[in-house]
Chains A and B, each alone.
Chain A
Amino acid sequence: MSRVAVVRFPGSNCETETLQAIERAGGAGVLLDYRETSLGGAEAVVLPGGFSYGDYLRSGAIARFAPVMQAIQAHAAAGGAVVGICNGFQMLCEAHLLPGALLRNAQQRFVSRPVDVRIERRTTVCTTAYVDGEIIRIPVAHGEGRYTADPAVLQELEVEGRVMMRYVRVPGSDADHNPNGSAADIAGICNAAGTVIGFMPHPERLADATLGSDAGHRIFSSLMQHLALGAAA
């Protein structure tokens, strides 16, 4: 069983359900303290949602200096899978593992609701189990989720196919399809190899059919499949 580390920072609050989603997908989830300096043999790292350090200063801005981040940088540089969800995405941008930044929502208010997102790229460590262009409905819950980057970076992301998840309008919905004013409706991006991924929605919160939908489950089953293939290779 592949080991996946879920890093807990002071103020993380989604680590339990993230571990559950990993285990539901057949992985072995390991809670990793932010003071650790190694990944303890984990094959992938998930930075979960929450309010690390209370989001004081700026979301993810203090967490990037945590001792564990050096090990994560090294893991990413070696081609290892690193996934940032919500606050984790903010940390990956702050740590420059992904380009751009996440600003305060355009409407200046926290937003908690389901969003419809299209899987724009299947060739990442987290999306192979989806169909190309598949639209799923999963929750967002954030105050700082407005993705922004230089025009050149935005263009590069589009050209290289690194926008892995995008907010889309579905027929009949009367809510703004883009919940925070993100540039180009971007909900999530990845590095060129598709191994370092960050997105704002919370698939771990809708990964169990008893909650009415398991639309987020395949994010985790894709990751497990990726790790299993890596182990086989």
Chain B
Amino acid sequence: MTTVIAAEAFPGEPAVTDALVREHKLTDAEYRAIQQLLGRDPTLTELGIFSALWSEHCSYKHTKPVLRRFPVDGPQVAQGPGENAGVLRLPDGWAVAFKIESHNHPSAVEPYQGAATGVGGILRDVFTMGARPVAVLNSLRLGPLDDARNRYLFAGIVKGVGDYGNCVGVPTLGGEVCFSPSYSGNPLVNAMAVGLLRESDLITARAEGVGNILLAVGAKTGRDGIHGASFASEDLTAESEKRRPQVQVGDPFTEKLLLEASLELITGNYIVAIQDMGAAGLTSSSAEMAARGGVGVELDTSLVPTREAGMTPYEIMLSESQERMLVVAEPHRVAEIQAVCRRWELDATAIGRVTDDGLFRIVHAGRTVAAIPGQELVDGCPMYTPDAVEAPAAVARRREAPTMAAPDPVTALKRLLDAPTIASKRWVFEQFDTTVRAASTILPGGDAGVLQIPGTTFGIAMTVDCNARFVLLDPYEGGKAAVAEAARNIACTGARPLGITDCLNFGNPDHPEIFFQFSEACRGISDACRAFDTPVTGGNVSLYNQNPRGAIDPTPTIGMVGLLPDITTAVPSHFSVEGDAILLLGGTTGHLGGSAYWAEVLDATVGAPPPVDLAAERQLQEVLIAGAAQRLLRSAHDLSDGGLAVALAECCIGGPWATGTWAADVDLGRHADAVSNEGWLFGEEGARALVSCAPEHVAALQRLGHDRGIPVHFLGLVGERDGHLRVRRAMTTWQWSTAELRRIYLTAIPRRMSPGEG
């Protein structure tokens, strides 16, 4: 037993009781561990600090053993998990920092601010690595739009995401929006930021140097967001509405100033370390920086600039007020740092120092209100290994098939294009600035976003993906499929997948069937990342996404970046030249289990999703990358939701702002004879892409496919503007007006959001 370090209650604060412990969401066993660690009862301030750092959100106490199995190494990795963001190497000394994070619970009760502050937090995670944010992406999941509450959440979330990123001046380059009943009352808001840096400017968040000064930079500390981290670590209930005051309020204008000041401080070598005061605010930023550096810290909360008088150390330590940074600096640089911040109209205030006793010590005007062994505070939370057992109902669901009679394929495709999950997201991304910074090469509305790196010849591609239906029906295959789809999207632009960040959104891990979903999905992600050489560089776990009606569909969102060595070879998604050949890359088996066709048209979320052939996926990526590099491809689009029929329709419909559609004449010929018509049109087996090329390049693409064992079928030709999509199979022809398909596809969401518009 170590010596007992005393701490005293702040005047007016109650002694810690069992009821207070429970209110702070700590179990009896966790509380006993705290008492043992301290050798005494904690003060209220200490209890608050423990409750934040030992929350699921900060401690990963249910998930760490599973996450440790992710592949994290590779020659391209400059910074793996454990920092504010992962960093991958690019050519010429450049590097890309990126990270995805959830803001689900706040967005469920206060959609606008919840979503906005989600974007703000993830931007800070990226620029505290020394990277300038150059793009954001988002994955939004909501309940069906026929419900007014879901429409309200959707509109608020989209506006919140947009207003924040737009104001800071970072383009939105991609995203996904999915609708399913499981997200009613449990919306998911996952935001990803991508930043560029010189690898030599990379800075980590390690407090070092005994005697160095801690500075609070940026906004003042208020009473907003107290206990946000523990809020994110419990189920949503009818009581959650009362949490509304715990949702932080964003100020993107201050964020922009903070961004510029932080980058100046980092690239000018003014500082030792920097970290965002994100979840659990000053507590987690200071404790984590100290633990990483193996040092102690002492903070004087009476020095922290506050928005209101009379804030207690407890409130100051747990506030999640936005747009604040904690900076570590050598004492002689403090005045220069304050001058830089002043130029950006920001406060920078010394609030503490690095110590050599390993203690996390909080004083308030001379009184020690917390003194906790620092390493144990960060690493000492008891870990849990929950039971993982698949629910019998889930096993049964995999064996089911739809019972509803199938409509004719012509109607079925129109219904799929009208399904908000598949339909154009123009209504969403036209509210996001996509072109600021003048580097956006491929904009939202295609497979992956691409931007060029000014002053170089190369670009980066980025995407976020997850087919949660697949994960629900088979978590392992679904986890693999999420990574495979992301990689296909990246490869369709011609870029090579480099690495991922993941946002693991699941229900309550104390339920064995939920933890089964979690651990199996992670196993699938690990296997796919190994097969593709795309290490996991970090991410975020969001559990307890459930309300009294049940848990969300398990949703491990994959954010991926890739490298496009020559930006001028970037391949768009849509047809663009009459007379081009249309080719299908990859083999067709007509797999309908788990498909959008079954779910959206036949109202049955059942069946086993397609097994993912990782080797074939990898070979398909290579064909797409080589085809782009050799300038053989005019367009490339991955097959996913809705299969070949939806992919063909999307290629004909064209980009969101196209001035007209393209006709296409397709003959499925004698390929895959045993496959049903529905299987051919709507099956969702992976490792397939639809490409178009000048007719003289068909042979070269067939050779590329042959070398890699990827079948390449000639399907037909791109036709005239505004004609028909015709698909023939033996004696049957299905035909659609492409203008009508475009109208359905573009108006599906606006029609539901504002009748009379669109």
Residues of B close to A67: CB separation below 8 A: none
Residues of A close to B658: CB separation below 8 A: 172
Known contacts A171-B659, A173-B659, A210-B568; A51/B167 CB under 8 A: yes
For window 266-306 of chain B, which residues contact chain A by CB distance below 8 Å? none
For window 246-261 of chain B, which residues contact chain A by CB distance below 8 Å? 251-254, 256-257
A206 to B438, CA, bound (A): 7
**Interface check A41, CB cutoff 8 A:** no
* Distance from A200 Cβ to chain B, minimum over Cβ atoms (Å): 13
| B253 lies within 8 A of A170 (CB) | no
| A54 lies within 8 A of B252 (CB) | yes
**Interface check B82, CB cutoff 8 A:** no
**Interface check A79, CB cutoff 8 A:** no
| A20 lies within 8 A of B438 (CB) | yes
Using an 8 Å CB-CB cutoff, how does the interface string of A107-134 with B read, 1 for contact, 0 for none? Answer: 1011111100000000000000000000
* Distance from A162 Cβ to chain B, minimum over Cβ atoms (Å): 27
Give A contacts to B, CB under 8 Å: 10-11, 13-14, 16-17, 20-21, 49-51, 53-56, 107, 109-114, 139, 141, 143, 170-175, 202, 204-208, 210-212
* Distance from B322 Cβ to chain A, minimum over Cβ atoms (Å): 13
A110 to B429, CA, bound (A): 10
**Interface check B434, CB cutoff 8 A:** yes
Residues of A close to B130: CB separation below 8 A: none
| A11 lies within 8 A of B256 (CB) | yes
Residues of A close to B567: CB separation below 8 A: 210
Other-chain contact of A211, B436, B452, B721, B742 (Cβ < 8 Å): B452
| B168 lies within 8 A of A13 (CB) | yes
28 sample A-B contacts, Cβ–Cβ < 8 Å, listed by A number: A11-B257, A13-B167, A13-B256, A13-B436, A14-B436, A17-B436, A17-B438, A20-B454, A49-B436, A51-B256, A54-B251, A107-B757, A110-B163, A110-B431, A112-B432, A114-B657, A141-B436, A143-B163, A143-B166, A172-B660, A172-B722, A173-B659, A202-B435, A202-B436, A204-B438, A206-B435, A206-B438, A207-B438
A49 to B167, CA, bound (A): 10
Residues of B close to A211: CB separation below 8 A: 438-441, 452
Give the one of A54, A107, A171, A206 with max B CB within 10 A.
Answer: A54
Other-chain contact of B434, A107, A112, A206, A210 (Cβ < 8 Å): A112
| B437 lies within 8 A of A17 (CB) | yes
Other-chain contact of A170, B159, B433, B659 (Cβ < 8 Å): B659
Q: Apart from A111-B431, A210-B452, what are 8 other A-B pairs with CB-CB below 8 Å? A: A17-B438, A20-B438, A54-B253, A54-B254, A110-B432, A114-B657, A172-B660, A207-B438
| A112 lies within 8 A of B433 (CB) | yes
| A14 lies within 8 A of B430 (CB) | no
Residues of B close to A109: CB separation below 8 A: 159, 430-431
Using an 8 Å CB-CB cutoff, how does the interface string of B630-660 with A read, 1 for contact, 0 for none? Answer: 0000000000000000000000000011111
Using an 8 Å CB-CB cutoff, how does the interface string of B735-758 with A read, 1 for contact, 0 for none? Answer: 000000011001000000000010
Residues of A close to B434: CB separation below 8 A: 112, 139, 141
Using an 8 Å CB-CB cutoff, how does the interface string of B650-690 with A read, 1 for contact, 0 for none? Answer: 00000011111000000000000000000000000000000
Residues of B close to A173: CB separation below 8 A: 657, 659
| B253 lies within 8 A of A113 (CB) | no
Give the one of B162, B567, B657 with max A CB within 10 A.
Answer: B657
Using an 8 Å CB-CB cutoff, how does the interface string of B556-600 with A read, 1 for contact, 0 for none? Answer: 000000000001100000000000000000000000000000000
A212 (CB) vs chain B CBs: closest residue: B441
Residues of B close to A17: CB separation below 8 A: 436-438
B429 (CB) vs chain A CBs: closest residue: A112
Residues of B close to A51: CB separation below 8 A: 166-167, 169, 252-253, 256
